[in-house]
Structure 1
């Protein structure tokens, strides 16, 4: 090629091909003021010179680094105010980009950890929050019932991962104590029998409520004696501290109304008699809760 044949200007399609973008993207750069629109030739087509192509290369490279188009003009401004605010603007842009990249890395780490948990502990456990899945890590894969995992998922959604992790101690204990599990199954069957054919004032309602309350008290005693209770307190304190650092609502008092909240927010298909049984059980528990 003779040097005399080198074009002084190229059309938008050729410029886009060289830079590695599209004509549509270049037109968008013009629309938002990121790239001055070049003069048009006699045929009405835009003609891009060396400086235009260099500008496009920088835009493309900067966008690939993750900087938003709105920030690119600031980040690579040829001149800024004499008071130095231009450099400050560039620094602000890069600070935002770095924070975004850190967040993306953390999200990728979380996703990778979830995939690893799904392989090691089962797909449902792996999809729970880190703090809950870690709490269940020492249990054999597949040992938790689907209903237990469903309950943890609901608790996570309503009250947060920290409260769900504490609830996990309940299911850990039931999974490792056959006698407690058998008693739990018996009471659940009795609750399920309180269907729409049973009146809310049927004596069985109060009887099952008392049995549920007594069982939960016994279960909590076993949790405490096993050492899981102390671990729960430390875990919950740590979770609340982290949430406070992140500026999130962490009212621990919500733990006491978790069931009521769940019953009003999740469409459980419970009969009036079964709902009344739950209310009576909660009332028994409230009578045992120290004031203040």
Structure 2
């Protein structure tokens, strides 16, 4: 049996068979006097086992180990158990992604938010009613933070359940809106920043211990609004000072 016959029976390519030979996964078969490889039923069985393990997600190095005569029994069971556990984790992740997808399919097509984040957005919009610039900024920042910062969803939920903080946010939004016609050196900017920083002391972000390094830097947040033509220069300066002050407070 030639290499083309072997590949056809197993359902792979001659190129793959030759690669398995090169890496030592399949032993070189006997050759005829003309130099052609001659394969036997044992080669078919071995290649079928390789293909079956590849389909299960095992790497070629792992397959080489488990098919080695000296290590086959113990290592195969160990590797397959690890593979089964990995597949179980993937199944859980897929199920969670399907749950989130179902939420997004039920959401407003123009605002694909999960149910929890959508509820936060609705309540922020209510608190900032009549203050379009502040609402637009807050809603955009909230959507980003709840997507990439661990614990942000819970922090926002706790904040909007605090009536005093919601009322204070509405007052701050009104003051921010009033900066639409202000000059960049208007003293109201510094005063508003002071109020925002003071209000932030009421908010505590509970970051999980397993969370990795922060994905958002101060420069990221300020850059978001550098070219925001729907904000005045005074409002952009307010955002810049606010972010800088909050960052200094977090690092102190």
TM-score, normalisation: structure 1: 0.60
**In 2, distance between residues paired with 1:181 and 1:92?**
56
Alpha-carbon deviation of 1:161? 2.4
Matched ranges for 1:1-292 at <5 A: 10-80=1-71, 87-122=73-108, 133=114, 135-136=116-117, 147-156=137-146, 160-170=149-159, 183=171, 185-191=173-179, 198-199=184-185, 202-210=186-194, 212=196, 216=199, 236=206, 240=208, 244=209, 247-248=210-211, 262-266=217-221, 267-270=223-226, 273-275=237-239, 277-278=241-242, 282=246
**In 2, distance between residues paired with 1:276 and 1:73?**
58
Alpha-carbon deviation of 1:212? 3.9
Alpha-carbon deviation of 1:55? 0.8
Report the more deviating stretch, 71-80 or 60-69.
71-80
**In 1, distance between residues paired with 2:110 and 2:92?**
21
Unaligned runs of at least 5 residues, structure 1:
1-9, 81-85, 128-132, 221-228, 287-292
Alpha-carbon deviation of 1:152? 3.0
Alpha-carbon deviation of 1:46? 2.1
**In 2, distance between residues paired with 1:125 and 1:206?**
34
> Helix, strand or coil: the match of 1:97?
helix
Assess, with a 3 A threshold, how the Cα gap between structure 1 residues 208 and 140 changes in structure 2: closer, same or farther. closer
**Is residue 148–residue 171 contact of structure 1 (8 Å, CA) maintained in 2?**
no
**Is residue 206–residue 280 contact of structure 1 (8 Å, CA) maintained in 2?**
no
Query: 1:46-71, CA deviations, whole angstroms, 9 ceiling, x for partnerless residues?
Result: 22111111111111112222222211
**In 2, distance between residues paired with 1:188 and 1:152?**
17
Unaligned runs of at least 5 residues, structure 2:
126-134, 227-232
Assess, with a 3 A threshold, how the Cα gap between structure 1 residues 110 and 124 changes in structure 2: closer, same or farther. farther
**Is residue 11–residue 48 contact of structure 1 (8 Å, CA) maintained in 2?**
yes
TM-score, normalisation: structure 2: 0.68
**Is residue 21–residue 27 contact of structure 2 (8 Å, CA) maintained in 1?**
yes
